[in-house]
Amino acid sequence: MKKKLFCFITLIVMLIMPATQVFASELNFAAKAELPDNQVNPDVSYFDIKMNPGAQQTLHVQLRNETEKPVTLDVELASATTNLNGVVEYTPNTIKPAKSLQFNMKDYVKAPKQTVIPAKGSTVLDLAVK
């Protein structure tokens, strides 16, 4: 009898508890690389360029905002790394570069610290490569 009463009370409490609204975490902007003529593989969506030594180039990334409010982005450059499972990650980290790394992207690419995408608009992020 006590077990049935406990189950009944638990059911009633669950039915009258207020529901919590949950929202999915989504990016509020989209980014698309504008691939240059010296792109090695035009079938990929990331920059894979071949430059002559000492050459300079500006790469462009189209940023789009579909929301009703302007979006401010803090721009950070991060070299790709792999996690313990071998999955490529592009997030900033404190991992020291491997001694075998010949070219650290941060030494060759400069970007603005911040950019703003207007509401329902787009902007171009310029990356200076030397």
Q: Does residue 96 form part of some domain?
A: yes
Asked whether residue 118 falls in the same domain as residue 103, the answer is no
| Domain CATH number, residue 60 | 2.60.40
Which amino acid is residue 81, in one-letter code?
Answer: T
Asked whether residue 71 falls in the same domain as residue 119, the answer is yes
Kindly report the number of other CB atoms within 10 A of residue 41's CB atom.
9
Asked whether residue 32 falls in the same domain as residue 70, the answer is yes
Provide the mean pLDDT of the chain.
85
pLDDT at 130 over 60: yes
Partners of residue 85 on adjacent β-strands: none
Cα 47 from chain centre: 15
Q: At 107, is the secondary structure helix, strand, or coil?
A: helix
pLDDT at 62 over 70: yes
Kindly report the number of other CB atoms within 10 A of residue 85's CB atom.
6
Q: Cβ(77)–Cβ(129) under 8 Å? A: no
Asked whether residue 58 falls in the same domain as residue 120, the answer is yes
What is the tens place of the pLDDT at every residue in 43-57?
Answer: 999 899 999 999 999
Among the listed ranges 7-16, 38-47, 51-60, 121-130, which one has the minimum average pLDDT value? 7-16
Asked whether residue 69 falls in the same domain as residue 120, the answer is yes
Neighbour-count burial of 65, counting CB atoms closer than 10 A to its CB (0-12 exposed, 13-18 middle, 19+ buried): buried
Q: What are the angstrom distances between the C-alpha of 30 and each of 9, 34, 101?
A: 48, 13, 30
Among the listed ranges 37-41, 92-96, 123-127, which one has the minimum average pLDDT value? 92-96
- Give the mean model confidence (pLDDT) for residues 4-10: 67
What is the tens place of the pLDDT at every residue in 93-115?
Answer: 777 888 888 888 888 999 999 99
Q: Does residue 19 form part of some domain?
A: no
- Give the mean model confidence (pLDDT) for residues 61-74: 94
Q: Cβ(75)–Cβ(125) under 8 Å? A: yes
Residue 110 carries which DSSP code?
E
**What is the extent of the structural domain holding 95?**
77-107
pLDDT at 22 over 90: no
Report the domain count for the chain.
2
Asked whether residue 32 falls in the same domain as residue 68, the answer is yes
Please tell me the pTM assigned to this model.
0.72
Asked whether residue 64 falls in the same domain as residue 115, the answer is yes
Q: Does residue 49 form part of some domain?
A: yes
pLDDT of 21 = 58
Q: Does residue 13 form part of some domain?
A: no
Q: Does residue 1 form part of some domain?
A: no
pLDDT of 8 = 65
